[in-house]
Structure 1
């Protein structure tokens, strides 16, 4: 388990132990855990439940700093504590958040102010003075997207809570077909749960791969294969159109980059001479994909030369760093990557 996962788990444990802090700031790329964090804070701050008198909710751009501060400074009515929840804080201009500077320095002891920010699409400038003051005043937890090798444990835990057992093959299929977004994976488990019905008396339910393939539409992996197919065909314009569609659908540039990188790592591994003669089951197991998707990876392994794949993988490392730290727009970084892959005449480095 990563240090990030350890910190997230500790955050939820601390909430149960108490005491409740006057300000919480939860932010990050993983929307599923962010939503769970807000729910857990609300439950800890108002174990008796909430009511309209003592709960105010603000949303993104429509929220003003003055209105948030006024709500937080009000006294609770027939309750121990007021709750003020601000969702999508990343959409609030820093000038508006500046109206809360005095409140951060001296928060109301009878209010729990929860600030929630989804940063997959829009980052928050941690260098700004008001964000630094917020972090100093609040209990803070960042929920980054899980690494791919952490997803199987998540799936197994969530399935066990529903009384289901997932084979390794089922887990890998879900990762390939759905992706690593925890909310979408949870929705997939919900579909499987409803489909296979109640557990037999005295035991859990074993989930078979045939059932999962029937239930789960693999739209996400089809999208990334559309993109990698376009890149493999050196079709720059088509790759740009698919990328644009993915961004409009809410996919982050960093996630798109990770999906492309994972794809080409698998393609490179399939060029190992030992795997060329292996049967499909052994080859799929060796590279960690579902046999259902193996033929697509094998096709791309025949398309790219080994030195091309090595170059692409080096570029993917540069792109990962650039998306996390460069002031250049994410879309431009991806466009440059696609150009390097699709147009051999271009230099390998920007």
Structure 2
């Protein structure tokens, strides 16, 4: 089942005897298990009918014994097995899975990796359990996820602000959701979140960030580029050189691709460049005017070289000032 299908069933109070939640992305697993933990039973019912076990401490016999109990003055009992990836005898739950108790809701949370279902245990799960694989998002999917997440607070967000949050917080959705929750508390319903809101509530600068650096380089604005790179050098933990170079590689790769695709219809051009809206196209159009195809190719080669240097390959950073490598790279890009 999909995440949305499971959520819809839970809201309708349609429960299943076994849920097996597994995969790379912990966030979706936590949302489902937290809902089952907090919304199936009343506070009074939980005392006798809810048990939380941890894979490192429990074995299959303990889980089975607890799951076979009958609920006391409640329609169900809820048994949550957290960190199930740590349970050495997890596969030995096959016997219970094949014949689960109808009055128990067993929730198995197997995080940080997809479970191989090609086994007797996996076959039993496929037949008797609700299985959900929690897959991580790609970088370019996070801004849309942010927009959808904020709808629960009746908040909108500008594309640049969503991109800024996604770029700096990455694909770890629990971390992103936590920052969005904190920001939402301070904003009125109906607000459209801007880069100024992001700077104020999350602490990501609206003027000194990777998108402003890309824009400055794309415009060949040496003064603005120098200011941003110096800010990055002064705040290396917020702006690691390796991450900055990776982002610039993506930017100039799109400029390179733009030269081949610039005559395509806009919708097809957006797909080719993997851009979500025409709002972003103006920066690439302008940058393509300043960097011809050969220059864009030359910069990509340069970025590959400096990516290796930033990781210590053919480069000794001993005795060199923080950010020196990035300053050198920016100067070379501007003078290609």
Question: What TM-score, normalized to structure 2?
Answer: 0.63
Could you tell me which of 117, 122, 126 is aligned with 2:117?
126
Structure 1 unaligned segments of length 5 or more: list them: 1-5, 233-259, 275-282, 313-336, 345-350
Q: C-alpha deviations, 1:276-307, integer Å up to 9, x for none? A: xxxxxxx9933989xxxx9xxx9xx9898467
Say yes or no: does 1:209 pair with 2:223.
no
Instruction: Give the aligned partner of residue 244 of structure 1.
Output: none
Partner of 2:15: helix, strand, or coil?
Answer: coil
Could you tell me which of 84, 90, 96 is aligned with 1:103?
96
Over the aligned positions, Cα root-mean-square deviation in angstroms equals: 4.1
CA distance in 2, matches of 1:229, 1:174: 14
CA distance in 2, matches of 1:57, 1:139: 19
Instruction: Give the aligned partner of residue 65 of structure 2.
Output: 70
TM-aligned CA deviation for residue 59 of structure 1: 1.3
Q: C-alpha deviations, 1:158-187, integer Å up to 9, x for none? A: 323223221112111111121122222211
TM-aligned CA deviation for residue 205 of structure 1: 2.0
Instruction: Give the aligned partner of residue 327 of structure 1.
Output: none
| Preserved CA contact (<8 Å) 2:45 2:74 | no
Could you tell me which of 184, 191, 208 is aligned with 1:193?
184
Could you tell me which of 66, 73, 76 is aligned with 1:81?
76
Say yes or no: does 1:269 pair with 2:254.
yes
Partner of 1:84: helix, strand, or coil?
Answer: strand
Partner of 1:61: helix, strand, or coil?
Answer: coil
CA distance in 1, matches of 2:14, 2:157: 37
Say yes or no: does 1:12 pair with 2:11.
no
Max Rg structure: 2
Say yes or no: does 1:157 pair with 2:148.
yes
CA distance in 1, matches of 2:115, 2:193: 41
CA distance in 2, matches of 1:288, 1:179: 22
Partner of 2:108: helix, strand, or coil?
Answer: strand
| Preserved CA contact (<8 Å) 2:22 2:134 | yes
Structure 2 unaligned segments of length 5 or more: list them: 211-235, 260-277, 315-336
Partner of 2:19: helix, strand, or coil?
Answer: strand
Instruction: Give the aligned partner of residue 113 of structure 1.
Output: 106
Instruction: Give the aligned partner of residue 239 of structure 1.
Output: none
Instruction: Give the aligned partner of residue 130 of structure 2.
Output: 139
Partner of 2:109: helix, strand, or coil?
Answer: strand
| Preserved CA contact (<8 Å) 2:51 2:78 | yes
Partner of 2:56: helix, strand, or coil?
Answer: helix
Q: How many residues align?
A: 259
| Preserved CA contact (<8 Å) 1:28 1:117 | yes
Q: C-alpha deviations, 1:76-96, integer Å up to 9, x for none? A: 111111111001111212xx1
CA distance in 1, matches of 2:81, 2:253: 45
